[in-house]
Structure 1
């Protein structure tokens, strides 16, 4: 009984990890490469590779590819969460500021 409950919790965590990785990958695809260079972050190509692998591994963990049963968390799923978390917490806010326009007043654009 407890084992089934833990399996369910790990499966839900794997689904959340997949959503987080997919969201980070989607954002990095939409962000222009120039924004990464201007902010001094790693290149867009490198982030696309990292986040693609993170999405792949978190998806594999969510469907139970690596282990017995659904949602078994493993090293790759944890690495996917770390990589996506770094992107969403550090890189996304920095690159999102690029291209918003400089003519902003206190009450909106001029």
Structure 2
């Protein structure tokens, strides 16, 4: 019974890990799409900084998805999606 529980927890953890890696890679792709000038116009960190943040987050999630630095990376990618992406990737005219 205990072995079944750890196997189930392992599958749940792998699912969480895969979702986090995909989320960070989606952030990486979405950070690369807008022009670099959009970041400076909106007063955000430069485009290469956000690309690097999302890339490092994807690596951290792949290595240890529930570690301390991964929690910091979750916050950073969350800031990108909640604040930066709507500002720089807004409506195209």
Paired residue for 1:81? Answer: 74
- Post-superposition offset of 1:80: 2.5
**CA shift at 1:60, angstroms?**
2.3
Structure 2: gaps spanning 5 or more residues:
none
| Alignment deviations for residues 82-110 of structure 1 (CA, whole Å, 9 cap, x no partner) | 22111111110111126x22xxxxxxxxx
Instruction: Determine the structure 2 residue equivalent to 1:23.
Output: 26
Q: CA deviation at 1:76?
A: 2.8
RMSD of aligned C-alpha atoms? 1.6
Give the TM-score, by structure 1 length: 0.73
Structure-2 separation of matches of 1:6 and 1:79? 23
- Residue 8 of structure 2 corresponds to 5
Query: TM-score normalized by structure 2?
Result: 0.85
> Unmatched 5+ residue regions in structure 1?
62-71, 102-110
Q: List, as ranges, runs of 4+ consecutive aligned residues in structure 1 with deviation greater than 4 Å.
A: none
Q: Which whole-Å CA distance do the structure 1 matches of 2:14 and 2:83 have between them?
A: 27
Please state if 1:49 is matched with 2:52: yes
Residues 13-40 of structure 1: per-residue CA shift (max 9 Å, x gap): 1111000000000111112111101111
Greater fraction helix: 2
What residue is the counterpart of 1:14 in the other structure?
17
Shift of residue 77 of structure 1?
Answer: 2.5
